[in-house]
Chains A and B, each alone.
Chain A
């Protein structure tokens, strides 16, 4: 059981941003995709989530083909994307944003339980549940984006640069939550530029450069790797 990507090629117009990459996110694990700006990390996530049609390659979720499906169909298969720009509903309240996160579901009891789970994970969201999303701080918006993703009860959660624009203390807090989410049974594919924070929580990692995977390994060995240290950890 895993999210598996094989020979994925994707890009915009004529530009091939992702040039045939393969990797896997096993059930219940955190896998991180590291790499500099423009390496193709976001493009990879957008292709998996159905926001971008890949040019070539196969994406399977526990054996089901995902490639070629639209974004709404991918959510129904059990995968949620938390995009880099968060893409919240700005003039709706925190509670309404979370409710829309559960749009694909009909099980009222399950939705209520997941809402409690999100509020336990991020108590700040509970305090602000009547506030409009646009009035939240950057960190709170990130929490809301993750919470909204969790409301679809995904088996796999894709996170695009959750640390972007956040203060170090807040980054640490959010990354701690990722291990709690994994403990709840949701696997995470974490795209990050902040390699040290990502490798701290991840089980396995891949390094993407100019659309190609350059390195892979378990998180501890990557964190110890000279090349990774030099380029990303300093």
Chain B
């Protein structure tokens, strides 16, 4: 039983972890919490459907189409909304992200209708048993893709010029500028990166739940996972996501499925009250 809970929990957790990474990657560099990220998950899943149904694209091409447009959308938010607002208080930027989310959600409702659309699984949803565990290939694909994405993210941050510039901005924006890094262009990259992470999460999760304009509410789970992980630590975001997925599944099994969401929010509130720096975050001394 416990093994089964782990397996299901990790599947959900892998998706939460990707969204949490999307929040943290962006926030660490720009200080902005992007409340429209959940709705970008929805948008990206719809883009796959649009490419498949209306443009007759094969699944793989449809995914590529969605990822490219999603990255472009993130960069467009930075250029079109955040850069003009750069002298505005942080709160104004955060409210702008809420507006972007609402506009996406209602725009999708108006154009694609309120009814759910089918999104293909990456692998078959027909389960098989292995050593007493029921495994679903579709779910394993979710975990596999999430792991590959996380691994590539860490490799990119550690070893590429693109990644080193991001790390430098994370560490010290003034220091980054004086070694020759363009901080605004790193911000644009971060918006693109965060959007791609949300897009992957959205495309992975859409077949498992239903794709409707309100699918983005699942983004709140990613937000909760990011908070569990301290909101400024990338490994923390992953651990927070996995932990949240397992806790939620366990609550669904041992308490009741209706209580699942309540348990995860209780965990979030408990964490904020008792461990404000999260499980893995470091309390950052504010410079005056």
Number of interface residues of B (CB under 8 A): 17
Stretch at the interface among B12-20, B140-148, B171-179, B191-199: B171-179
Q: Are B172 and A90 in contact (CB under 8 A)?
A: yes
Closest Cβ of chain B to A3, distance in Å, is 16
Q: Which of A50, A85, A90, A104 contacts B179 (CB 8 A)?
A: A104
From residue A57, how far is it (CB to closest CB) to chain B in Å?
Answer: 21
The reply to whether the CB of B180 lies closer than 8 angstroms to some CB of chain A is yes
Is residue B267 within 8 Å, beta carbon to beta carbon, of the partner chain?
Answer: no
State whether the Cβ of A233 lies closer than 8 Å to any Cβ in chain B. no
Residue of A nearest to B165 (CB): A103
- What is the distance, in angstroms, from A37's C-beta to the closest C-beta of chain B? 18
Bound CA–CA A100/B166 (angstroms): 11
Q: Which residue of A lies closest to B175 (CB)?
A: A87
Given A100-B164, A103-B164, A103-B165, do A89 and B171 touch, yes or no (CB 8 Å)?
Answer: yes
Q: Contact: A51 with B174, CB < 8 Å?
A: yes
Specify which chain A residues have a CB less than 8 angstroms from the CB of B171 in the assembled complex.
Answer: 89-92
A179 contacts which chain B residues (CB < 8 A)? Answer: none
**Is A95 an interface residue, CB under 8 A from the partner?**
no
Contacting residues, chain B, for A83 (C-beta < 8 A): 174, 178
Interface residues of A in 75-118 (CB under 8 A from B): 75-76, 80-81, 83, 85, 87-92, 99-101, 103-104
The binding surface of chain B is classed by DSSP as helix
Q: Looking at the assembled complex, report how far the CB atom of B188 sits from the nearest CB atom of chain A, in whole angstroms.
A: 14
Q: Mark B154-184, 1 if CB is under 8 A from A, else 0.
A: 0000000100110110011011111111110
Interface size, chain A (Cβ < 8 Å): 27
Q: Which residues of B contact A100 (CB under 8 A)?
A: 164, 168, 176, 179, 181
Q: Decide if B175 touches A71 in the complex (CB within 8 Å).
A: no
Find the B residue at minimum CB distance from A102: B179
A72 within 8 A of partner (CB): yes
Contacts of A29 in B (CB 8 A): none
- The answer to whether the Cβ of A70 comes within 8 Å of any Cβ in the partner chain is yes
In this complex, the member of A49, A75, A81, A87 whose beta carbon has the largest number of chain B beta carbons within 10 angstroms is: A87
Closest Cβ neighbor of B177 among chain A residues: A71
Output the least CB separation between B141 and chain A (Å).
Answer: 35
B178 in contact with A75 (CB, 8 Å):
yes
Closest residue of chain B to A71 (Cβ to Cβ) is B177
Q: Which of A51, A71, A80, A89 contacts B168 (CB 8 A)?
A: A89
Residue on A nearest B186 in the bound complex, by CB: A72
Report chain B residues within 8 Å CB of A90. Answer: 171-172
Where the two chains meet, the residues of B that have a C-beta atom closer than 8 Å to any C-beta of A are 161, 164-165, 167-168, 171-172, 174-183
Given A76-B180, A104-B179: 17 more A-B contacts, CB < 8 Å:
A49-B178, A51-B174, A51-B177, A70-B177, A71-B177, A72-B183, A75-B180, A80-B178, A83-B174, A83-B178, A89-B168, A90-B171, A92-B167, A92-B171, A100-B176, A101-B179, A103-B181
In the assembled complex, 8 residue pairs joining A and B whose CB atoms fall closer than 8 Å, in A order, are A70-B177, A72-B183, A80-B178, A92-B171, A99-B164, A101-B179, A103-B164, A151-B179
